[in-house]
Structure 1
Amino acid sequence: MSKIGVMICGHGSRSQAAVDQFSVLAEKLPAYLPPEWAVEYGYLEFANPVIRDGLDRLRAQGCDKILAVPGMLFAAMHSKNDIPTVLNTYAAKHGIEVSYGRELGVDPKMIAAAGGRVQEAIAAANAAHGEVPMHETCLVVIGRGASDPDANGNVAKIARMLHEGLGFGWCEVGYSGVTFPLVEPCLQHASKLGYKRIVVFPYFLFSGILIDRIYGFTDQVAAANANIQFVKAGYLNDHEQVLATFAERITEQVGEIPPPNCAMCKYRTQVLGFEAEVGAVQESHHHHVEGQGASAPGSNVEDCTLCDSFCTGLCRLEKQAKGHDHHDHSHDHSHGHTHGHAHSHDHVHAEYPHADHPHGPESARKSPKT
């Protein structure tokens, strides 16, 4: 019989706190799985161990069947392109079976976890400042933001489930990068709606630079709107329902008919505005930033001459203006150089069709360091 190993494929972060939190989640996950299954984890970029390291450890333990899952909320480019490329390459090289499960996605357990974090924040705000009726409270849900409308649309669905489930007066949805509206224009809009309280909820798994950005813009907009009470809800982290969802994404792969991943994918079907990407070659170039670690250049606000107390995203716009950003997928990455490992860079990522939207990344140009 095959010995089963489990591989949790994280994104990785320049934030050491985010890397530490992911490792804690991976350490808690075995309690939700059959005891004989080996569990390892690795990161796509920035942090160590990288995904290949985790796969090596599983193989060293005698695992010849590996159940891999993306440690991500939704299926966007990282989970659709980059992680499968790493897994498929490894499986072919070492002759082992590697299956790939679904992202956490829109799931009742995830909505319960999100609702729990929002309710915790409201309870704390009520205790500190007195109750504000839910009908006089606006919820702002902030997602990661991607060049994939499927992933962005799922954030909006989560937001609606929270809005309707908890009975908020209104709900707005924003994103930390790539798409629109970004955090600051979203919060500016919400502040004009007349609500007494605004609850800002980052629908993220872990801490990191983007959480700092969300909370930083929240403080900034709150300072300009002293008549509104802004409440910063916590991110998902290792909520027990998140762990239960991860376990389900792993164990469902050994069923008779594993559920398909990426059901509404812009690479499989025509999606409004992204029709040209159907059938596009899916590949990864994240070896550029594998294992760089939390001390990599650009990981700290202190290193930045453009941002003050938190990363606004302006640095990425400046990099893109110079024509080179290893971590952005909306630019032409066809400069053709090599890094001594026989991997040419002649592939091109599709440009995000709304890159110039005034409420998208371009909005960061309004917040330079003074």
Structure 2
Amino acid sequence: MTEKLGLMICGHGSRNKGAVRQFAQLAEGLKQRFPNWPVEYGYLEFANPVIHDGLNNLREAGCTHVLAVPGMLFAAGHAKNDIPSVLNTYQAQHPDMKVTYGRELAVDVRMIQAAGARIKEALDAAESDVPMHETMLMVVGRGASDPDANSNVTKITRLLWEGMGFGWAETCYSGVTFPLVAPGLEHAAKLGYKRIVVFPYFLFTGVLVQRIYSNTDEVAANHPDIEFLKAGYLNDHPQVINTMADRVQEILQGANLMNCQMCKYREQVLGFEAEVGLAQESHHHHVEGLGAEAECKLCDELCTGACEEKVRAAAHHHHDHAHHDHEHSHDHAHSHDHEHDHHHHPYPHADHPLGPKSMDKKG
């Protein structure tokens, strides 16, 4: 029987309509790269269609082999754990359709080019002319409880720093790990640079990007002698789509390599020894299918950060609970006022003075 290929693009999902719309745009861009295949996309939670629905559509279209790729920057818990769990469960239920999983966008020269383009847009739009050697770059990653994913953001920072010739560069994170944005920028302000460019290394909009920009404004108000520029996030830059299309081709070429050498579930990564050998299963099954009822109603497609007060109030209310000290460790570009009944292994550095617990102090 002739094999019929299909493509499944797997996202996390968001309460923010703008983030969901932008992910759909990315999926449409990939459809154009593979015009002869059925292409579907789906989310783990908080938006429809869910991954299961997309797989059903591909099966109904007669696909016998589905190439599934995660629409995620780095391989942390969602790409390493949750999406594979959903795909494996579906595969077990439908053995007539083979599902092969690809790797994340990862550190790639095309992703660096897309990031550089967003930073250059911010520099070109600046009103003043500050030499690059007197300009500092602050790259902001999402932050994860997986040190492998966090370390990749610092590699992105170095490649941009050296490639574009900034005077200095550092990395901070929007949540979960340290340093967070506000303390990271306060530290950066002490280094003596005339300009600081803040670049969110994010695919899509949402409350986290808005939080990064709000933190930037707050720190900038404390340092009027420094020019702060807010660069745009990656979105559907052509090089992002090129990278994801290449991830699909890697599956077909047999060069599909997920980085497991530094995975905290398999190796004793320094500081995370307690998580070696933990069962890898998705915690998203209980929210699959949430759509309109999960959608944030506080703003339209552009996230205004209106939910932040709810986030801070919730974090303040729960500050005595160890698993809430990191605002649920999710930071999925949506409001965090929902209830999660799944368990996360405690982040080993939740008490770091520049990290997760410092977010509660704003409450």
The two structures have a TM-score, normalised by structure 2, of 0.89
**Aligned residues of 2:46 and 2:295 also touching (Cα < 8 A):** no
For 2:316 and 2:84, locate their aligned partners in 1 and report how far apart those are by CA, in whole Å: 28
Shift of the alpha carbon at 1:74? 0.2
Q: 1:163 aligns with which of 161, 168, 171?
A: 161
For residues 11-49 of structure 1, what are the alpha-carbon distances to aligned partners after superposition, in whole Å with 9 as ceiling and x for unaligned? 11111000000001101112223x321111001111111
Match of 2:335 in 1: none
Alignment CA distance shift 1:320-1:120 (3 Å):
same
**Aligned residues of 1:29 and 1:243 also touching (Cα < 8 A):** yes
Shift of the alpha carbon at 1:366? 3.3
**Aligned residues of 2:103 and 2:256 also touching (Cα < 8 A):** no
Q: 2:350 aligns with which of 347, 351, 355?
A: 355
For 1:226 and 1:242, locate their aligned partners in 2 and report how far apart those are by CA, in whole Å: 35
3-state DSSP of counterpart to 2:351: coil
Where do 1:196-215 residues align within 5 Å? 196-215=194-213
Shift of the alpha carbon at 1:260? 3.7
3-state DSSP of counterpart to 2:9: strand
Alignment CA distance shift 1:327-1:138 (3 Å):
closer
Q: 2:240 aligns with which of 237, 242, 264?
A: 242
Supply the AA of the counterpart residue of 1:79.
A
Supply the AA of the counterpart residue of 1:169.
G
- What's the % identity of the aligned pairs? 61
For residues 116-146 of structure 1, what are the alpha-carbon distances to aligned partners after superposition, in whole Å with 9 as ceiling and x for unaligned? 1111110111xxx221001111100000100
Shift of the alpha carbon at 1:270? 1.7
3-state DSSP of counterpart to 1:231: strand
**Aligned residues of 1:117 and 1:235 also touching (Cα < 8 A):** yes
3-state DSSP of counterpart to 2:328: coil
Give the number of equivalent residue pairs. Answer: 345
For 1:318 and 1:311, locate their aligned partners in 2 and report how far apart those are by CA, in whole Å: 12
3-state DSSP of counterpart to 2:74: coil
Match of 1:334 in 2: none
**Aligned residues of 1:14 and 1:295 also touching (Cα < 8 A):** no
Instruction: Return 5+ residue gaps in structure 2 as ranges.
Output: 331-340
Deviates more, 1:4-13 or 1:265-274: 265-274
For 2:306 and 2:236, locate their aligned partners in 1 and report how far apart those are by CA, in whole Å: 30
**Aligned residues of 2:158 and 2:169 also touching (Cα < 8 A):** yes
Supply the AA of the counterpart residue of 1:245.
T
For residues 147-200 of structure 1, what are the alpha-carbon distances to aligned partners after superposition, in whole Å with 9 as ceiling and x for unaligned? 000000000000010011111111111111100011111111111211111100
**Aligned residues of 1:141 and 1:172 also touching (Cα < 8 A):** yes
3-state DSSP of counterpart to 1:270: coil
Q: 1:138 aligns with which of 118, 136, 154?
A: 136
Alignment CA distance shift 1:179-1:313 (3 Å):
farther
For residues 247-298 of structure 1, what are the alpha-carbon distances to aligned partners after superposition, in whole Å with 9 as ceiling and x for unaligned? 0111110114433444421112221111222222101121233333365387
Shift of the alpha carbon at 1:317? 5.8
**Aligned residues of 1:46 and 1:289 also touching (Cα < 8 A):** yes
Instruction: Return 5+ residue gaps in structure 1 as ranges.
Output: 331-344
Deviates more, 1:263-272 or 1:11-20: 263-272
3-state DSSP of counterpart to 1:328: helix
Alignment CA distance shift 1:173-1:114 (3 Å):
same
For 1:14 and 1:257, locate their aligned partners in 2 and report how far apart those are by CA, in whole Å: 34
Where do 1:308-319 residues align within 5 Å? 310=308, 314=312, 315-316=314-315, 318-319=317-318
3-state DSSP of counterpart to 1:84: helix
